[in-house]
Amino acid sequence: MRDGFLKVAAVTPDIRVADVAYNTEQICMWIDRTADAGAKVVVFPELCVTGYTCGDLFTQDILLKDAREGLLKLAEHTKEKDALIFVGAPLSVNGELYNVAAALNHGRILGFTTKTFLPNYGEFYEMRQFREGPEEAVDILFDKEKIPFGPKLLYGTDSMESLVVSAEICEDAWSPVPPSTHAARAGATLIVNCSASDETVGKAGYRRSLIAGQSARLICGYVYANAGEGESTTDLVFAGHNLIAENGAVLKEGARFKNGAVYSEIDLKRIQSERRKNTTFQQEENAPLRRIPFEIETEATSLTREIPSRPFVPSGDRERAERCEEILLIQAMGLKKRIAHTRAKNVVVGISGGLDSTLALLVSAKAFDMLGMDRGGITAVTMPCFGTTDRTYQNACRMSVRLGASLREIPVAESVKQHFKDIGHDISDHSVTFENAQARERTQVLMDVANQNGGLVIGTGDMSELALGWATYNGDHMSMYGVNASVPKTLVRHLVHYYADTCGDEVLKEILYDVLDTPVSPELLPPKDGEIAQKTEDLVGPYELHDFFLYYLLRFGYEPAKIYRLARYAFAGEYADETIYRWLETFIKRFFSQQFKRSCLADGPKVGTVALSPRGDLRMPSDACAAGWLKDLGSVFSREEEVCHR
């Protein structure tokens, strides 16, 4: 449960219809198994104590008496189990029969959540046997103990304040206003569903989207346990389609037509972070929901859920291609509007032969095509200086010509040398002044060329560079419109690759592939033996690590110690722990110290959920202190190491 992770399980046990003794044994067996697996919240299907398909047998006293005894046996079996367990059962109260989810914890039955919406259409006829629960929860006597009974029950624990659980039953999730909606507004962060949803053609996809959508709408975790093999097949077949979802994403999905359990970890801190940021998610004041305490111990949770090492990049080829096309369109549409609004005659792009300037040029070409303008209005300027290599120079020139842009070569070495004389800087001193003077000279050239032609300077810097402050202030940091400003470096590479694969020009594709194969470098230091001498990732760290850090820091507000833990898990086998720690510390220091550069960014289109615009997603003071974040990162050495399943 460290870092807000809670292991949960959705279980479909083997059952026999109306054989409570057998069903209870099977449920007990799975309670043992889930306990051994470390699950802290366990969910079983609707009416699984008896079987959902008992029909009119539900009116028989024998079955109801056995069900009561079965619940007591199950409660007793949980005495030494450290979990909150939900089991579906029929319950007779004051001569009426109810479909309930019983909450079991450390040998006790804590509450009975009643089913709110009883389906009575198609293959369902629950109103024949069951009654709707009361509008408000009441206390009933069960085995001489008062137990809350009804809807609107919440379960909370002092050992994990972020964990508040509420149950609903099958059809409740299909209703226009599910009970979970009110529960979430009252503070529930985890919804469980004891279900018996039969399987028909196409229903699995609908069920999956329904549960994922509800978890997204409520910004919560959702554990859905469905009835499976063992139910009567007189008219229906149940497939045991179990689902665990979190904020719109399905974390784990069970194989259909196969009983068993699925496990995953709900990230409760992530849910809290999302709710804090979402101002339309409003808590329900004075919500008439009853809170019931339960007990679980705080302990380490091993991770089994997927933690992508490249969170900005979709893993599937099809999804990645769709993402790339969408981002290129967003970038081009933003630039298109800016060109049209300013009535610019052309745009100016500084071309280095590197990835970022290549992407900016490709986006400019796409925007010009949308406007029906001649690509000759794109002025591609190459400005060779002390660090320019023949490889990047040739790629920049060939690419510009192939795209139909107007190529201009403006060497800046002599101008920079004169500047060194003016300020009294020794040209053999390759310090930051040596580097930044070149970047600022190039920006001055681009701005003046734009003025000559009534154009706009297109910024090339990407979001990863902005996060690290890896840009020369008022040099490559500045432009008139920054098309790459919210595109992370790990995604820039895929965008260029996608353009190369879909452009239909084999010559251009070859050039772009060579750009992709070129080391990332600002090329501000003289080359060695004709090769790039200055490799960015050797100096500032791997961008795939920095993009990972950036995503989890800004998207979910994670603490550095948690980011470090997740990075170790995601990059296992790629980077050593000490390497991850070193570059995370670098990231935190640079992210805070370089905010002043982001505070005066040029306009640029937002393309994803993480962005650094000072006018939108990141309104951060330029002099904020990183001490608290660095202290949290340092705490990893004093914490007990956790073994993760990798």
Q: Looking up tokens 């004041």, which residue turns up?
A: 285
Tell me the pLDDT tens digit for each residue of 72-87. Answer: 999 999 999 999 999 9
pLDDT at 643 over 50: no
Outline where DSSP puts E strands in 189-284. Answer: 190-195, 221-226, 243-246, 249-253, 260-267
pLDDT (0 to 100) of residue 283: 79
pLDDT (0 to 100) of residue 519: 79
**Cα–Cα distance between 197 and 12 in angstroms, integer?**
12
Q: Is 369 helix (H, G, I), strand (E, B) or coil?
A: helix
Which tokens belong to 222? 């959702």
pLDDT at 646 over 80: no
Taking residues 386-402, report their average pLDDT.
93
Tell me the pLDDT tens digit for each residue of 247-286. Answer: 999 999 999 999 999 999 999 999 999 999 888 888 776 6
**Residues in a beta bridge with 528:** 531
pLDDT (0 to 100) of residue 388: 85
Domains of the chain, CATH where assigned = 2-293 (3.60.110.10), 317-637 (3.40.50.620)
pLDDT (0 to 100) of residue 1: 63
Q: How far are the Cα atoms of 87, 102, 171, 196, 323 from residue 168, in angstroms, in the given order?
A: 11, 11, 8, 12, 36
Q: Are 123 and 83 in contact (CB under 8 A)?
A: no
pLDDT (0 to 100) of residue 2: 79
Taking residues 365-388, report their average pLDDT.
96
Cβ within 8 Å of residue 421, ≥6 positions away? none
Percent of the chain with pLDDT strictly greater than 70: 96
Tell me the pLDDT tens digit for each residue of 139-149. Answer: 999 999 999 99
pLDDT (0 to 100) of residue 284: 77
Instruction: State the catalytic residues.
Output: 46, 115, 170
pLDDT (0 to 100) of residue 638: 65
pLDDT at 532 over 90: no
Percent of the chain with pLDDT strictly greater than 90: 89
Tell me the pLDDT tens digit for each residue of 119-165. Answer: 998 888 899 999 999 999 999 999 999 999 999 999 999 999 999 99
